[in-house]
Amino acid sequence: MRKYFTYKTLDDLREDIKQLGVHIPLEEHFEKCFEPIQVGGRRVGNRFVIQPMEGCDGTLDGKPDVLTFRRWERFGAGGAKIIWGEATAILDEARANTRQLLMIEENLSALEELIRRTRAQHRAVFGSDDDLLIGIQLTHSGRYSVQRPLIAQHDPVVDGVTWVDKKRGIRVTPDYPTLSDDELKRVEDAMVQAARLAAKVGFDFVDVKQCHRYLLSELLAARLRPGPYGGSYENRTRLARNAIRRIVEELGDQIIVATRLNAYDGIPYYQPEDEPIGRPVSVPRPYLAAWGTDPENPLEMDLSEPIQYVREMAEWGVRLINVSMGSPYYNPHIGRPFERPPIDGYQTPEHPLLGVDRHFRATEAIQRAVPEIPVVGTGYSWLQHYLPHAAEGNLRVGRVSLIGVGRGSLAYPDFVKDMMEGGEFDRRKVCVTVSYCTALMRAKHNELGQFPTGCVPRDRIYAEIYKEALRTAPKE
């Protein structure tokens, strides 16, 4: 298996950047990273964001449990000034796994406790939490809902890789029902209701999730759906537009409205048996069922609609945007450039730096389209201890306003604290992008129907959980 991250020095990384012909500025002194910024009228103390990272560790009724508290408290004590709380379902049938958090009235006191404890940890280490924002990502898992896929459109390509029942080998077929217009209208209402609850419980911002091909993300690409939620750009953005406008109108002075948005969906990949790397599936051209994607060449981005869309969302009152891409289920190298693939993935078909660069380019295009809105960038973890060098480089040239750290924050939640104390990352603590956390996410063979996830190489608790998952795994 080829190793990509072999750099001994920053210059080694610079050399690869040059060889690959990409543009990733690397700086050596970190100033901009620690410059405060205004987000929706609130002061945020530095530029680091803990990305939404599900731990799949809630109770069966969707409350945070022991490991959820531990994870959030570690984020709180780590020093990033935005904690972007993980995917939290707006309806029971919209949960992606049996232990996903659920935004319902009954769970509010536990969620309140989660915020309280996270803030307390932050105050204990940094003295004050006045410049810390904590938000929550509201999700409808759509075709990835654990009870059964709830699909927005028949996608000729993605249907073929969507499981209805994985154990029995059943996938979505052309006669599988799509969500009706009435059902989608109810999703809009549920999103608004969940935002009300998020405001009530004290989150600083709410993310109307539109990424990774969950329901609202799939709708953006629903060119093949008939009726008021499909076809035209106007129709495809209808559900999110209505929800966002209603949330801003009703709650705009109580909670900041944010969104995590796919800039590019791309197409599925697979691992051919006789080849060393993953390959894209063949798709009809023009391929119309992907957002931000060139229909004639779906391996390339077409950011014209995402750019139009972020401009409109800024007008409606969205005040924070987090740019992501791809689907963790069918093209994980797009969203999470990796050294080793997830258990259900394939060997990376490209140098991971090309994936990092794709993220940075898409984020730059979005940030430049809405210079007044702080935009969070994604895809930094593959850079390991050189992450802050790229963060500073991108911040200085204004390609991005905030630096999102995903897997890197599971492995190394106190990276900001270490930077503040030692001036750099501790390379023994970084994420090495070997994807065990995704393997745990996919492990569902315990009595709760879901193993919790975290960093196996860097956190002993998860090394034990992983061993247990392997030991008890059903034989194929």
Ligand X SMILES: Cc1cc2nc3c(=O)[nH]c(=O)nc-3n(C[C@H](O)[C@H](O)[C@H](O)COP(=O)(O)O)c2cc1C
Q: Binder to ligand X among 191, 198, 211, 366 (CB under 6 A)?
A: 211
Q: Binder to ligand SF4 among 119, 361, 399, 458 (CB under 6 A)?
A: 458
Q: Is 432 in the site for ligand SF4 (CB under 6 A)?
A: yes
Instruction: Pull the structure tokens for residue 30.
Output: 């970190």
Encode burial over 28-40: b for 16+ CB neighbours within 10 A, e otherwise. Answer: eebebbbeebebb
CA atoms within 13 A of residue 186's CA, in its CB half-sphere: 8
Q: Is 410 in the site for ligand SF4 (CB under 6 A)?
A: yes
Smallest separation (angstroms) from ligand X to the CB of 382: 6
- Contact positions with ligand X (CB under 6 A) in 134-163: 137
Q: Is 51 in the site for ligand X (CB under 6 A)?
A: yes
Q: Is 336 in the site for ligand X (CB under 6 A)?
A: yes
Q: Is 355 in the site for ligand X (CB under 6 A)?
A: no
Q: Binder to ligand X among 17, 24, 49, 53 (CB under 6 A)?
A: 53
Q: Closer to ligand X by CB, 195 or 437: give it.
A: 437
Q: Binder to ligand X among 262, 378, 394, 450 (CB under 6 A)?
A: 378
Interacting partner of 367 out of ligand SF4, ligand X, none (Cβ under 5 to 8 A depending on kind): none
Q: Is 436 in the site for ligand SF4 (CB under 6 A)?
A: yes
| Residue whose CB is nearest to ligand X in the complex, by number | 406
Instruction: Pull the structure tokens for residue 137.
Output: 């990502």
Q: Is 265 in the site for ligand X (CB under 6 A)?
A: no
Interacting partner of 455 out of ligand SF4, ligand X, none (Cβ under 5 to 8 A depending on kind): ligand SF4
Q: Is 45 in the site for ligand X (CB under 6 A)?
A: no
Q: Is 50 in the site for ligand SF4 (CB under 6 A)?
A: no
Q: Binder to ligand X among 425, 453, 458, 469 (CB under 6 A)?
A: 453
Distance separating alpha carbons of residues 213 and 326, to the nearest angstrom: 7
Q: At 55, which amino acid appears?
A: G
Site string for ligand SF4, 209-248 (x = CB under 6 A): ----------------------------------------
Site string for ligand X, 392-431 (x = CB under 6 A): -------------xxxx-----------------------
Q: Is 437 in the site for ligand SF4 (CB under 6 A)?
A: yes
Interacting partner of 405 out of ligand X, ligand SF4, none (Cβ under 5 to 8 A depending on kind): ligand X
Q: Is 259 in the site for ligand X (CB under 6 A)?
A: no
Q: Binder to ligand X among 107, 384, 401, 438 (CB under 6 A)?
A: 438
CA atoms within 13 A of residue 303's CA, in its CB half-sphere: 20
Smallest separation (angstroms) from ligand X to the CB of 459: 12
Interacting partner of 10 out of ligand SF4, ligand X, none (Cβ under 5 to 8 A depending on kind): none
Q: Closer to ligand SF4 by CB, 374 or 379: give it.
A: 379
Distance separating alpha carbons of residues 335 and 454, to the nearest angstrom: 18
**8 A C-beta contact, residue 111 and residue 463:** no
Interacting partner of 457 out of ligand X, ligand SF4, none (Cβ under 5 to 8 A depending on kind): ligand SF4
**8 A C-beta contact, residue 425 and residue 403:** no
Interacting partner of 334 out of ligand X, ligand SF4, none (Cβ under 5 to 8 A depending on kind): none
Binding residues for ligand X, rule: CB under 6 A, are 51-54, 86-87, 137, 211-212, 260, 324, 335-336, 378-382, 405-408, 437-438, 441, 453
Give the residues lining the site for ligand SF4 (CB under 6 A): 407, 410-411, 431-437, 455-458
